[in-house]
Amino acid sequence: MRLSIVVPCYNEEAVLNETLTRLTKLLRGLINSAELSSDSEIVFVDDGSRDATWPIIEKAASVDRLIRGLKLSRNRGHQQAVLAGLLNARGDAIISVDADLQDDINAIPEMIKAHAAGAEVVYGVRKQRTTDTFFKRFTAEGYYRLLAWLGVEIVFNHADYRLLGRRAVEALREYREVNLFLRGVIPQLGFMSAIVYYDRAERFAGESKYPLSKMLALAWQGITSFSTMPLRLITGLGATVSLMSIGISLWAIWLRLFTESSVPGWASTVVPLYLLGGVQLLCIGVIGEYLAKTYLETKRRPLFHIEKDTTHLTPHVALSNAYAHPEDKPVV
Ligand code: UDP
Ligand code: MG
């Protein structure tokens, strides 16, 4: 099997040499033990770095044929850099891993085994987050729960360390997401999947290229690219406020008819305030529902991916149309 390892790099001169050494050593080992074919590769994607990252990659690529470099025209962000690598790698299976090797590369052989056992997608999942700060751990785990509640299908505590088989990558190619959140797209692909657990280490040099602002942007991306729940919540809020205002008006009528404590002008001021507010929210919510439909349509996501096809088992049936049932065709 031919493996590609995709490594996005943004201003990583401090870690790159070490990363190169460790990855090539691992890959050579696997090639020597005949687990991988010798045309496997490590694809470093330079995401518009402004330091010596690209010269380092270029130099390494010129002396080692396992190493290949791709340079993006400018900084596009981690997700885009990973996608560029995935769509251009040549392997039968492709593993994406961060340049700082926080994700334990010793899980790679296990990922390959899981793939050989039939899993088209193998998710790397961190066992614990002891190397993260309390803040990062708290927000990250809370975020995964929020996504699950919003109905976004996602693998808990899985970042972008994963193996994709060739078929999964070709399926991914059909997604034309401008707002890219790979963690959300990959589970959409389907196919058989497996999970490999690993310990997450600390970044061994350099500092995080993910400041809070980028993290928040990615978090927001994950919600708005996959869930229309926020729009639906508006509808719910509108309906609740409308019902409440009907309750208030009944109460006001009751006060007026059966007690002495009604304040003149109160009901005619307060009830319309709530009622109109509620009706407006409800209307915005309804508009939101249509917006959500339009939004999903504009994504033009593929409707299906075919995992298996038995046409090769029945050589006389030439199945050209994916919608046609084999029995519809004359068997020659
Ligand atoms: N990265 C990238 N483009 C960016 C930011 C980050 O390609 O705009 C890469 C970076 O070089 C690293 C990976 O994304 O390989 C993860 O970044 P980092 O380790 O800084 O994130 P953290 O682990 O702190 O979340
Ligand atoms: Mg990192």
Q: CB of 82 closer than 6 A to ligand 1? A: no
Which pLDDT belongs to residue 40?
Answer: 94
Residue of the CA atom closest to atom 2 of ligand 1? 78
Which pLDDT belongs to residue 139?
Answer: 85
Which pLDDT belongs to residue 315?
Answer: 63
Confidence of residue 327 (pLDDT cuts 50, 70, 90): low
Q: What is the longest distance spanned by two Cα atoms in the chain?
A: 94
Residue of the CA atom closest to atom 1 of ligand 1? 78
Closest CA to 25 of 94, 101, 81: 101
67: Cα separation from own chain's centroid: 26
Which pLDDT belongs to residue 222?
Answer: 87
Write out pLDDT tens, residues 13-67: 999 999 999 999 999 999 999 889 999 999 999 999 999 999 999 999 999 999 9
What value does the mean pLDDT take over residues 266-295? Answer: 87
Q: Find where tokens 């034309």 sit.
A: 176
Confidence of residue 213 (pLDDT cuts 50, 70, 90): confident
Q: How far is the CA of 156 from the centre of ligand 2 (A)?
A: 18
Considering every ligand atom shown, identify the ligand nearest to the alpha carbon of residue 208 and give its number. Answer: 1
What value does the mean pLDDT take over residues 240-269? Answer: 88
Q: How far is the CA of 27 from the centre of ligand 1 (A)?
A: 22
Q: Which position has the higher pLDDT, 279 or 179?
A: 279
Residue of the CA atom closest to atom 13 of ligand 1? 98
Closest CA to 201 of 122, 97, 80: 97
Q: Which position has the higher pLDDT, 310 or 7?
A: 7
Q: Find where tokens 């409440």 sit.
A: 244
Q: CB of 209 closer than 6 A to ligand 1? A: yes
Considering every ligand atom shown, identify the ligand nearest to the alpha carbon of residue 136 and give its number. Answer: 1
| Ramachandran angles phi, psi of 238, nearest 5° | -60, -45
Question: How far, in Å, are 9, 43, 77, 98 from residue 209 at the CA level?
Answer: 9, 19, 10, 11
What value does the mean pLDDT take over residues 130-153? Answer: 84
Q: CB of 10 closer than 6 A to ligand 1? A: yes
Q: CB of 101 closer than 6 A to ligand 1? A: no
Confidence of residue 332 (pLDDT cuts 50, 70, 90): very low
Q: How far is the CA of 10 from the centre of ligand 1 (A)?
A: 6
Pairing of strands 121-126, 41-46: unpaired
Q: Are 252 and 266 in contact (CB under 8 A)?
A: yes
| Ramachandran angles phi, psi of 200, nearest 5° | -95, 125
What value does the mean pLDDT take over residues 206-219? Answer: 84
Q: Is a pLDDT exceeding 70 seen at residue 294?
A: yes
Q: CB of 130 closer than 6 A to ligand 1? A: no
Q: CB of 126 closer than 6 A to ligand 1? A: no
Which pLDDT belongs to residue 24?
Answer: 95
Considering every ligand atom shown, identify the ligand nearest to the alpha carbon of residue 215 and give its number. Answer: 1
Q: CB of 131 closer than 6 A to ligand 1? A: no
In this prediction the pTM is 0.78
Q: CB of 78 closer than 6 A to ligand 1? A: yes
Q: CB of 77 closer than 6 A to ligand 1? A: yes
Q: CB of 208 closer than 6 A to ligand 1? A: yes
Q: CB of 103 closer than 6 A to ligand 1? A: no
Q: How far is the CA of 184 from the centre of ligand 1 (A)?
A: 18
Q: CB of 80 closer than 6 A to ligand 1? A: no
Confidence of residue 328 (pLDDT cuts 50, 70, 90): low
Q: How far is the CA of 263 from the centre of ligand 2 (A)?
A: 64
Question: How far, in Å, are 248, 250, 254, 263, 277 from residue 269 at the CA level?
Answer: 12, 14, 16, 11, 13
Which residue from 210, 214, 216 has its CB within 8 A of the most atoms of ligand 1, so it is best to mutate?
A: 210
